[in-house]
Structure 1
């Protein structure tokens, strides 16, 4: 009958049972350089996608939809908001198919742009700002931008599809659109601040 490790140790000494060392899987360990490289790849992909979606949504599709609205601008493109007269003219000029195209575009490209841009901005801020309190302050702008943009798109859809138009139904989406453009600018500013803080914390090169 085979002896237990304790019995072998009692007979032959501790050398009979060599200590067992834990097996370390080095393939799962990542160096800081590799982690930084992965974050850079995510950031590059997110930035490229944000630029593409902004161009597709604001510069291409919304501009093309003016062909279906007698040249009237889409609400999402109006940085300083819009009034009831503009919305009434827009509702009269656009038929059900045109309104359906606008609704589809803002639910797809509009939603993707808001989410991808906010995520990319938060990633860039996280990579360049070490202090948690400062990071959360700068993160507030892209988070608010995404939320306000999605809310604004939904309110525009409800406004254009309403049976009767009221002043309140126009004021809310108009305010949300203006806020979304302001938050877009503040998000870009927060990215610039994050990059500035990152450059400040880097030690200056020593001169020989």
Structure 2
């Protein structure tokens, strides 16, 4: 036979006697969240996906690479032309290449101190520019190119641009340090021309990937596959 509330209070204290019957079962029960089928049509909300977050990061890396490339060519190398070389155009800015005589002019205008600063430009901004630009292009094409073979073709062009860019900087340092060496000047000129040609390839890749992305989005919209759309038969 169970004890009454008064007996419980005398034996265990007032708190035990005042506890309502069945409180344990109520305390142990947990509220069940509503299932998807029990929600109304307006209560469902799409959660952010990993793809959207990745797209934001890739887009940021891509535009950082583009901004750094513009900064290097429009400000840093223009500063080399105006301040260090006293009006003689920096060899990297000559899209069609340059003759050994131009390298000799650059070397004479720079002088010993200017050559050191010119080499320092290649070791700092000239180093990070192709690396970050290449990283942005690799991520951009990797995220938006589902075809594996085409993606690898794009990546080869991106990596080739970075390698030729860095090799061209090293060749320019050697040519300016030894302006009488026509072979070094010719090698530097060829690498600069190749750099610009590969840059054109990067721009073409960016256009092709962007057009492919737009086409897929339009196709998904037409088929009702975009988030928030109802599938269409």
Q: TM-score, normalised by structure 2?
A: 0.70
Q: What's the offset of the Cα at 1:206?
A: 5.3
1:171 to 176, 186, 189: 186
Shift of 1:41: 2.8
Pair 1:50-2:65 in alignment? yes
Which of 159, 162, 176 lines up with 1:143 in the alignment? 159
Q: Mind listing any 5+ residue stretches in structure 1 that lack a counterpart?
A: 1-30
User: How many residues get paired?
Assistant: 177
Separation in 2 of the partners of 1:33 and 1:143?
32
Q: CA deviation at 1:184?
A: 0.9
Aligned partners of 1:38 and 1:201: how far apart in 2? 19
- Give the whole-Å Cα distance in 2 for the aligned partners of 1:147 and 1:33: 37
Matched, 1:133 2:152: no
Match of 2:54 in 1: 39
2:62–2:140 CA contact under 8 A, matched in 1? no
For residues 144 and 33 of structure 1, the distance between their equivalents in structure 2, rounded to whole angstroms, comes to 36
In 1, the alpha carbon distance for the partners of 2:141 and 2:47 equals: 18
Report the equivalent of 2:6: none
Deviation at 1:135, TM superposition (A): 0.7
Counterpart of 2:89 in 1: which secondary structure? coil
Q: CA RMSD in A?
A: 2.2
Q: Could you tell me how far apart the structure 1 residues matched to 2:150 and 2:170 are? A: 31
How far apart, in 1, do the equivalents of 2:103 and 2:189 lie? 10
In the other structure, the counterpart of 1:69 is: 85
Q: How does 1:47-196 map to 2 (within 5 A)?
A: 47-66=62-81, 67-162=83-178, 165-196=180-211
List, as ranges, runs of 4+ consecutive aligned residues in structure 1 with deviation greater than 3 Å: 31-34
Of 203, 209, 212, 1:197 maps to 212
Contact 1:68 1:94 in 2 (8 A): yes
Cα distance 1:32–1:96, how it changes in 2: closer, same or farther (>3 A)? Answer: farther
Aligned partners of 1:54 and 1:206: how far apart in 2? 39
- Greater relative CO (CA pairs within 8 A, separation 6+): 1
* TM-score of the superposed pair, with normalisation by structure 1: 0.78
